[in-house]
């Protein structure tokens, strides 16, 4: 490979000249090994945010360069290796249900997940609500767990897409997080490094998502799906509604409870519905089932017969958690000392939530991080959240706040009432799946 310089590459991006594949590979390696400075990384991020990489081909090359900046995983399991990625939302604990559910129908799911980002919760933080569970695992342990139960949900090691880790930290402090090229490469580089045979994307759209309107969400979905397919990973996507919490709970341990209830067959609702839709989408795209209807019937059966719950319990035990978690989960999860009920202050229909604001209340209660070093309180959050469309009378319970202190709960109560949108007329019922992208 030629001996490029960061200065020459930055000059090209600034002047809207597309970088070659070799130039992009060189820059990604420089991010990973430190030969590209923070100042140069910031200049690159800003230039791409302002001018883009210039073409879809360059976007794919950059994604692959980011993937190849570290090691990639491979699986010798003789079964399809599939995964799902969500762009983030509130009350979104789909991963906790979907990984064991897919494993129950005979596919392997090495799900590389993340921690909370902004107002959205993180799957790894949720799993760490369970005593003993370790989410940072060696490659050897990942393989052992996959071979034993077919699924694992874990964090990416330092060796997976190290260029992305470096660039993401720079993007966060240079206001370049929302660049379509950089988002696409950041998401997909880690997934492609996981050695997948197929991927399904859940692109959230609405007040609780990063993409608040359908046009934004569609552009991101198209970029992700096209890039992943060009990179050799068969991928489809669903754009899904995120104008209210997906589960009737927000907060780490509280969302674990909802996921377990769904896997136990005790609960239907939006969480179960979207999980089955995503599972049916990837199983059909991989030709494991003829159509989504057939796949959905089988996935519902695996929930109802307890197979998904059994896989989840096996996974938790193999990750260091209790051996009987599924049968006695309430015994192990942390509980808040201050729990208060929030009731409607007026009559009307609940027509929506300010989702990002609602998520930020949970963060301030301690359920997320304001800075990277913050310690998460796994017990805090909201439970028993009523659905949009509910007819309220004055005094109707809306949700319960779980907090470390009563004054924290009382403060959050005022904010929750400010996040509600109430009207005299009922809202139009929203579709869960807004669009399919292939």
Catalytic residue, candidates 58, 60, 86, 277: 86
What number of other Cβ atoms are within 10 A of residue 136's Cβ?
Answer: 11
172 is known as an active-site residue: no
SS3 (DSSP) at 4: coil
Catalytic residue, candidates 190, 204, 270, 400: 190
Catalytic residue, candidates 59, 61, 67, 191: 191
For residue 350 the two structure tokens come to: 């609940």
Q: Rounded to 10 degrees, what is the CA torsion of 200, 205, 209, 212?
A: 140
What number of other Cβ atoms are within 10 A of residue 118's Cβ?
Answer: 13
Catalytic residue, candidates 95, 120, 123, 218: 123
Cα(136)–Cα(157) distance, rounded to whole angstroms?
7
186 is known as an active-site residue: yes
125 is known as an active-site residue: no
Catalytic residue, candidates 171, 204, 272, 311: 171
377 is known as an active-site residue: no
Q: Please, are residues 435 and 221 in contact by the beta-carbon 8 Å criterion?
A: yes
Catalytic residue, candidates 113, 157, 186, 235: 186
Beta bridge partners, 349, equal 391, 423
DSSP state of 369: -
Nearest Cα neighbor of 88 from 124, 119, 52, 56 is 119
Cα(5)–Cα(3) distance, rounded to whole angstroms?
7
Q: How far apart are the first and last CA of the chain?
A: 35
Catalytic residue, candidates 59, 61, 67, 85: 85
Q: Please, are residues 255 and 218 in contact by the beta-carbon 8 Å criterion?
A: no
To the nearest 10 degrees (0 to 180), the angle between helices 307-318 and 139-149 is 150
83 is known as an active-site residue: yes
Helix and strand totals (H; E) in the chain: 16, 12
86 is known as an active-site residue: yes
Q: Please, are residues 208 and 250 in contact by the beta-carbon 8 Å criterion?
A: no
Catalytic residue, candidates 59, 61, 67, 84: 84
To the nearest 10 degrees (0 to 180), the angle between helices 355-362 and 406-419 is 170
| Residues marked as catalytic | 83-86, 123, 171, 186, 190-191
């Amino acid at each position: 490979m030629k001996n490029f310089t960061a200065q020459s590459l930055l000059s090209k991006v600034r002047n809207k000249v597309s970088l070659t594949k070799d130039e992009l590979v060189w820059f990604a390696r420089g991010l990973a090994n430190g030969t590209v400075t923070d100042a140069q990384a910031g200049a690159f991020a800003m230039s791409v945010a302002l001018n883009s990489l210039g073409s879809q081909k360059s976007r794919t090359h950059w994604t692959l360069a980011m993937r190849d900046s570290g090691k990639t995983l491979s699986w010798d399991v003789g079964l399809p290796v599939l995964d799902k990625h969500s762009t983030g939302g509130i009350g979104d604990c789909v991963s906790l249900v979907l990984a064991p559910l897919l494993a129950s129908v005979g596919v392997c799911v090495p799900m590389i997940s993340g921690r909370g980002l902004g107002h959205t919760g993180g799957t790894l933080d949720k799993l760490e609500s369970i005593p003993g569970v370790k989410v940072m695992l060696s490659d050897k342990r990942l393989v052992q767990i996959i071979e034993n139960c077919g699924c694992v949900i874990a964090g990416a090691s330092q060796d997976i897409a190290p260029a992305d880790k470096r660039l993401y930290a720079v993007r966060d402090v240079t206001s370049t997080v929302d660049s379509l090229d950089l988002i696409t490469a950041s998401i997909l580089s880690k997934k492609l490094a996981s050695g997948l045979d197929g991927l399904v994307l859940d692109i959230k759209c609405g007040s609780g998502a990063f993409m608040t309107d359908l046009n934004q969400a569609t552009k991101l979905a198209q970029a992700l799906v096209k890039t992943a397919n060009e990179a050799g990973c068969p991928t489809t996507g669903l754009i899904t509604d995120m104008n209210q919490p997906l589960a009737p709970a927000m907060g780490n341990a509280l969302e674990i409870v909802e996921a377990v209830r769904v896997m136990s067959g005790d609960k239907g609702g939006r969480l179960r519905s979207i999980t089955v839709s995503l599972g049916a989408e990837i199983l059909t795209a991989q030709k494991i089932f003829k159509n989504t209807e057939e796949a959905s019937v089988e996935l519902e059966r695996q929930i109802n017969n307890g197979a998904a719950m059994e896989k989840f319990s096996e996974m938790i035990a193999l990750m260091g958690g209790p051996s009987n978690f599924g049968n006695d989960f309430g015994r192990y999860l942390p509980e808040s000392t201050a729990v208060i009920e929030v009731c409607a202050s007026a009559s009307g229909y609940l027509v929506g939530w300010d989702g990002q604001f609602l998520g930020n209340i949970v963060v301030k209660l301690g359920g997320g991080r304001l800075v990277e070093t913050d310690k998460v309180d796994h017990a805090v959050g909201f439970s028993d959240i009523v659905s949009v469309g509910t007819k309220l009378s004055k005094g109707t319970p809306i949700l319960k706040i779980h907090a470390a202190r009563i004054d924290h709960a009382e403060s959050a109560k005022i904010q929750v009432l400010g996040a509600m949108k109430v009207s005299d007329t009922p809202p139009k019922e929203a579709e869960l799946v807004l669009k399919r992208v292939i």
